[in-house]
Amino acid sequence: MIAPVLAVLCIALGYGATAVFGTAMVPPPPEILGRLLALVLGGEIAAEGLRTLGRGLAGVAAANLVGIVLGLAAGAWAPAARVFRPLLAALNACPPVVWIALAMVWIGSGGGTPVFAVAAATLPPLFLAVLEGVHAVDPRLAAMSRLYGVPTTTQLRRLVAPTALPFWRAAFAHTAAAAWKVAAVAEFLGSSDGIGASIYWAYRRLEMADLYAWALTIMLLGVAIDAGLARAGGRGAAR
């Protein structure tokens, strides 16, 4: 029920914007939807969308690999926590544009820039979540497991992992939802392909129908990702 109402509202707003700014600035909705359909049928949406999503997933995967290892190590060893926690907390405050700029300097333009930017932007919250999860382990159970000589792998599997999992899951949902946005911005600034680069070239060439079609694409992609993560989170909570 909400989707049809939202679609009608967006079309009405589109016609209103066309009437205010003119067709040169805001093409009428049928022209934008026609161009979007052409991009879908031509395969550009699928190709560029998969590039952007793949870069986002690659960055999040790298951040998870490093963040989980560092988080577990810092949680188990207090000196490591004293070193890494303030450092990662400070890095967490950096906006993604900082990492994008550094990636363009260190790596250059191309597909590596979005992957690096996503990994750098999502690593701090993942690390901090895992660290908080390890610190949430019941100290009495941890002391008892050490007293009875429970193997470290068993402690990780039976004690640490179940406690830290909800912390990691929340951070993963947050970073996965943000990853593709960071990837798209990085592509806009420093890549030759992907959804972000498509938006950049439509803007540079003043192809307004293409610009709005790609903008609509990235909005719909965001809605789909957020809905998928919310559904997955609901199933995880149900378990």
CA–CA dist 156, 152 (Å, integer):
6
pLDDT score for 204: 92
Nearest to residue 214, comparing CAs of 49, 59, 62, 42?
49
Residue 187 CB coordination number (10 Å): 29
Q: How confident is the model at residue 76 (pLDDT cuts 50, 70, 90)?
A: confident
If pLDDT is split at 50, 70 and 90, which confidence band does 234 have?
Answer: low
Using pLDDT thresholds of 50, 70 and 90, give the confidence band for residue 201: very high
Q: Which of 49, 182, 187 is nearest to 124 (CA)?
A: 182
Establish if 39 belongs to a structural domain. Answer: yes
150-176: per-residue pLDDT in tens?
787 777 788 888 888 899 998 898 888
What's the pLDDT at 225?
83
- Residue 62 counted as domain residue: yes
Q: How many domains does the chain have?
A: 1
pTM attached to this predicted model: 0.84
Is there a domain that residue 45 lies in?
Answer: yes
Q: State which residues form the domain around 69.
A: 30-231
189 in a structural domain: yes
pLDDT of residue 46: 93
Kindly tell me if the per-residue pLDDT of 78 is higher than 70: yes
Distances from the Cα of 145 to the Cα of 52, 54, 149, 153, 155, angstroms: 45, 41, 6, 11, 7
pLDDT at 34: 93
- Among 65, 43, 49, 67, smallest CA distance to 225 is for 49
Could you tell me the CATH number of the domain that includes residue 117? Answer: 1.10.3720.10
State phi, psi for 110 to the nearest 5 degrees. 140, -175
Closest C-alpha among 130, 122, 121, 119 to residue 85: 130
| Burial of residue 238, with CB atoms counted within 10 A of its CB: 0-12 exposed, 13-18 middle, 19 or more buried | exposed
> Mean pLDDT over all residues of the chain?
86
The reply to whether 143 falls in a domain is: yes
Residue with tokens 């932007």: 121
Query: Looking at the domain assignment, is residue 47 inside a domain?
Result: yes
Residue 10 CB neighbours (<10 A): 13
Contact of 25 with 208, CB cutoff 8 Å = yes
Q: How far is CA 67 from CA 71, 115, 131, in A?
A: 6, 15, 9
Mean of pLDDT values over 79-105: 84
- The answer to whether residue 63 is domain-embedded is yes
103-140 pLDDT, tens digit per residue, is 888 888 788 899 999 999 999 999 999 988 888 887 88
The answer to whether residue 226 scores a pLDDT higher than 70 is: yes
Instruction: Report the candidate in 236, 202, 234 with the shortest Cα–Cα distance to residue 217.
Output: 202
Residue 3 lies in a domain: no
